[in-house]
């Protein structure tokens, strides 16, 4: 976490160009009270309306909230939605000098209707799109290209937001990418849902989501490993330096030419609305790359920013202060790129737990060998997690298990045991310890609840006196007769003979 905080502080205020399809988002909220007597449809009693930036304008707005200079390039219609859009851009202090007007096409508008029922969160019940998907006229393309190329040296990065509405034509993109490459300005693209990426050739990065990657690579993406294969195919076929495949709750996979591919997990979120998550990834990665932040830090920061975005309705600006707060209050999930932030050392664990304490969270601690994870373990860990908000599992090292169980144990190495525990949803942190008892960890962590599973009594729990001395509680949970690692090992030996 500390290195991500450091990276966030190193981000300056670069000047970025956002080019692409400019969209106006409209929202109408109301109560979905009943079914119409005229037809089998919901009746929405509207009580609130709102307009927001969409498409490339959304990316520009998100960048503005992230404290950088932004110039937006694209086309809007000479109509009421176009005027509304320009007013919002003005309010956001976004340079719109490269936004052209086209009297022959409407401003692309997406209108969403959201209904509430039984006082629950509103759900989208209908979206109405007003758009023209044909390419810009040759004259408009030439004007836009000339205007962008004249100013290309001003920008530290070019972000292209392609919604396949007609702005990002092959000729326009080829000219902009070539000019940016000549100036050593990175070009990062959020692609349209199209099967052919020839127009993106020469880009620094293309960032498709799962479905877009499947379409472009002509292969399914069911896992991070699939995403890496997909990214490699796209990079090689279209001569793109890097491909970042967005995998929603599974994080992102990065493929770079002549570099090892890498999966960047993210922590699970309470998803409220996925709208804007892709825009936020493009904005955050673009901002980081414009500030010379390495990929290893740029993508975890983008994961965090996108995670904050999906917890909100619609495209909502996220500030650097909010990302900083998330990092300082984080449970560590963004910091570790191998496991989803659960397997930690003492220093990171104490740092994360202190943040949880400040928010009034109850810390639960348990420890054990967990050799051959079985149903008894799973039951007791799930029960332990119910006793508080944050469950910490301390795992005996291989040497510690040998001291307790004798030669031939553990069956599973400590790194693998920790990984299996980290895969359980009820477990928040896993730490491997080498001491004969967990006393030192208990002194440092001071959990609110110490839990042990199995056949122990409360008085037999190691560390009981220490925890109770500072007012903590001790509990025994999850007893399952006849289920133990020793019995499983014995059964395996008997079966073999």
Domains of the chain: 2-185+266-328 (3.40.1190.20), 346-496 (3.40.50.620)
**Residue 279 annotated as catalytic:** yes
Distance CA 27, CA 31 (A): 14
Distance CA 265, CA 272 (A): 20
Burial class (CB in 10 A: 0-12, 13-18, 19+), 483: middle
Cα–Cα nearest to 309, from 345, 336, 289, 284? 284
Question: DSSP 3-state helix, strand, coil percentages of the chain (rounded to 5)?
Answer: 40, 25, 35
pLDDT of amino acid 409? 81
Neighbours of 486 (CB within 10 A): 11
Distance CA 261, CA 299 (A): 13
pLDDT of amino acid 269? 59
Q: Which pair of structure tokens corresponds to residue 193? A: 């849902």
CB 141 within 8 A of CB 149: no
Q: Which pair of structure tokens corresponds to residue 127? A: 């979206």
Q: Which pair of structure tokens corresponds to residue 341? A: 């932030």
Q: Could you tell me whether strands 108-116 and 22-35 are parallel, antiparallel, or unpaired per DSSP bridges? A: parallel
Mean pLDDT by runs of 10 across the 497 residues of the chain is: 83 95 94 88 89 94 93 97 96 95 94 81 87 94 97 97 95 97 97 95 96 94 92 94 91 89 77 70 95 92 87 74 78 38 82 76 93 84 92 94 85 89 91 93 94 85 94 83 55 58
pLDDT of amino acid 361? 85
Residue 46: phi and psi, rounded to 5, are -70, 140
Distance CA 476, CA 458 (A): 6
pLDDT of amino acid 337? 35
- Could you say which of 79, 273, 279, 428 is catalytic? 279
Look-up of token digits 């307009």: 51
Distance CA 5, CA 324 (A): 7
Cα–Cα nearest to 254, from 299, 290, 221? 299
Distance CA 263, CA 31 (A): 42
CB 408 within 8 A of CB 314: no
Neighbours of 407 (CB within 10 A): 5
Burial 41-54 (b: 16+ CB within 10 A, else e): ebebeeeeeebbbb
Q: Facing residues of 206 across strands?
A: 189, 243
What is the Cβ-side half-sphere exposure of residue 329, based on CA atoms within 13 angstroms?
A: 14
pTM exceeds 0.75, yes or no: no
CB 229 within 8 A of CB 219: yes
């Amino acid at each position: 976490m500390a290195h991500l905080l450091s990276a966030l502080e190193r981000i300056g205020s670069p000047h970025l160009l956002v080019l692409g399809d400019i969209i106006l988002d409209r929202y109408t909220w109301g109560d979905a009270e009943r079914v119409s007597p005229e037809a089998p449809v919901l009746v929405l009693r509207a009580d609130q309306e709102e307009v927001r930036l969409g498409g490339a304008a959304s990316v520009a707005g998100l960048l503005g909230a992230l404290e950088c200079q932004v110039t937006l390039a694209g086309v809007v219609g000479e109509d009421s939605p176009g005027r509304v859009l320009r007013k919002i851009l003005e309010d956001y202090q976004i340079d719109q000098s490269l936004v052209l007007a086209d009297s022959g096409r409407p401003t692309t508008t997406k209108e969403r209707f959201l209904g509430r029922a039984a006082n629950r969160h509103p759900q989208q019940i209908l979206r109405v799109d007003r758009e023209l998907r044909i390419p810009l006229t040759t004259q408009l393309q030439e004007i836009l290209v000339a205007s962008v190329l004249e100013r290309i040296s001003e920008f530290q990065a070019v972000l292209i937001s392609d919604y396949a509405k007609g702005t990002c034509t092959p000729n326009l993109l080829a000219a902009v990418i070539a000019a940016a490459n000549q100036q050593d300005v990175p070009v990062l693209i959020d692609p349209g849902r199209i099967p052919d990426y020839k127009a993106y050739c020469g880009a620094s990065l293309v960032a498709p989501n799962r479905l877009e990657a499947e379409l472009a690579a002509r292969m399914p993406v069911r896992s991070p490993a699939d995403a890496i294969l997909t990214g490699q195919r796209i990079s090689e076929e279209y001569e793109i330096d890097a491909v970042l495949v967005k995998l929603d709750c599974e994080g992102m996979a990065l493929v770079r030419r002549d570099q090892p591919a890498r999966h960047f997990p993210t922590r699970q979120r309470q998803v409220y609305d996925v709208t804007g998550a892709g825009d936020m990834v493009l904005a955050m990665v673009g901002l980081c790359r414009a500030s010379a932040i390495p990929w290893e830090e740029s993508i975890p920061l983008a994961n965090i920013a996108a995670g904050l975005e999906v917890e909100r309705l619609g495209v909502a600006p996220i500030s650097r202060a909010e990302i900083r707060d998330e990092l300082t209050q984080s449970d560590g999930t963004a910091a570790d790129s191998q496991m989803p932030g659960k397997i930690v050392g003492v220093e990171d664990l104490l740092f994360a737990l202190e943040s949880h304490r400040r928010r009034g969270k109850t810390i639960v601690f348990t420890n054990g060998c967990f050799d051959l994870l079985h149903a008894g373990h799973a039951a007791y860990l799930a029960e332990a997690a119910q006793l508080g908000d944050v469950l910490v599992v301390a795992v005996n090292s291989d040497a510690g298990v040998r001291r307790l169980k004798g030669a031939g144990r553990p069956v599973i190495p400590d790194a693998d045991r920790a990984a299996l525990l980290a895969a359980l949803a009820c477990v928040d942190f896993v730490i491997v310890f080498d001491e004969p008892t967990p006393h030192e960890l208990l002194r440092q962590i001071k959990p609110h609840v110490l839990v042990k599973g199995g056949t122990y009594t409360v008085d037999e729990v190691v560390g009981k006196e220490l925890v109770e001395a500072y007012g903590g509680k001790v509990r025994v949970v999850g007893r399952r007769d006849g289920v133990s690692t020793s019995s499983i090992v014995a059964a395996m030996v008997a079966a073999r003979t």
